[in-house]
């Protein structure tokens, strides 16, 4: 079982593992162009890197990992690239679902499906339903996701559920976010050297530790992820205190 293979041994402290890691998977196109491949091949290799993230997540007992797969802004890309990204979604779940189930991974898809093709909606909904009782690792694949959009949708959900009431509590409000109240991110990683959030989990990363690595996403392997976790454990988190 591929996901159960041991990642490289490390000296991580088991009492300081982040509860929730967010990852902006950036650099597929630049990686492909650098090597003389079409951008689509960069996306293909990049999709395979998710396995490495899952392996480390399971071995290090990280409860929640959220990856940024397709943003609300990605619709600005060419139709050809968008269609290829959708085809990768189909392939990923056809090939990986058995391993996902064997390793008890629960899948969620933050975002909204309003303008997503019906056959992709069906694939994602079926994957979510099939894995709903798994409890070893929660893998959130943010799809057609934008944080500002999420916050607006959460406000509208709150208003609909609580007519006439004001939002007077962060905890009360966060229940209406796509991941609910248990969504605060401890560690945010962005690959490719870019240093911006790109509309990803803006509410949830308020007190996250940020790590920006120059490694392009297709080269971000288990060792790279473990290095980020090691760096996280060197940080002192004060949450506004001293």
Domains of the chain: 2-6+18-65+84-184+222-234 (3.40.1180.10)
Instruction: Given the residues 15, 16, 19, 26, select the one marked as catalytic.
Output: 26
- The answer to whether 109 and 150 are in contact (CB under 8 A) is no
Instruction: Given the residues 4, 74, 108, 182, select the one marked as catalytic.
Output: 74
pLDDT tens digits along 50-108: 999 999 999 999 999 999 999 999 999 999 999 999 999 999 999 999 989 999 999 99
Q: What is the percent of the chain with per-residue pLDDT over 70, rounded to a whole number?
A: 94
- pLDDT value of residue 237: 75
Active site residue 74: yes
Q: How far is CA 236 from CA 15, 20, 185, 225, in A?
A: 14, 17, 15, 19
Active site residue 221: no
């Amino acid at each position: 079982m591929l996901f159960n293979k041991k990642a490289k041994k490390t000296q991580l402290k088991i009492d300081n593992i982040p509860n929730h890691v967010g990852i902006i998977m950036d650099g597929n196109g630049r990686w492909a162009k650098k090597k003389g491949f079409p951008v689509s091949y960069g996306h293909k290799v990049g999709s395979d890197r998710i396995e490495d993230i899952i392996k480390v997540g399971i071995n290090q007992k990280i409860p929640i990992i959220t990856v940024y797969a397709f943003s609300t802004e990605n619709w600005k890309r060419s139709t050809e690239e968008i269609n290829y990204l959708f085809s990768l979604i189909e392939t990923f779940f056809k090939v990986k679902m058995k391993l996902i189930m064997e390793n008890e991974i629960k899948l969620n898809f933050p975002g909204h499906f309003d303008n997503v093709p019906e056959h992709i909606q069906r694939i994602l909904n079926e994957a979510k339903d099939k894995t709903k009782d798994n409890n070893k690792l929660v893998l959130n694949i943010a799809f057609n996701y934008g944080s500002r959009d999420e916050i607006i949708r959460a406000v509208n959900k709150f208003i609909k559920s609580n007519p006439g009431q004001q939002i007077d509590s962060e905890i009360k409000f966060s229940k209406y976010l796509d991941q609910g109240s248990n969504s605060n991110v401890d560690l945010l990683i962005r690959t490719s050297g870019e240093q911006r959030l790109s509309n990803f989990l803006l509410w949830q990363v308020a007190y996250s530790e940020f790590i920006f690595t120059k490694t392009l996403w297709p080269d971000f392997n288990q060792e790279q992820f473990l290095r980020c976790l090691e760096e996280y454990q060197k940080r002192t988190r004060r949450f506004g205190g001293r």
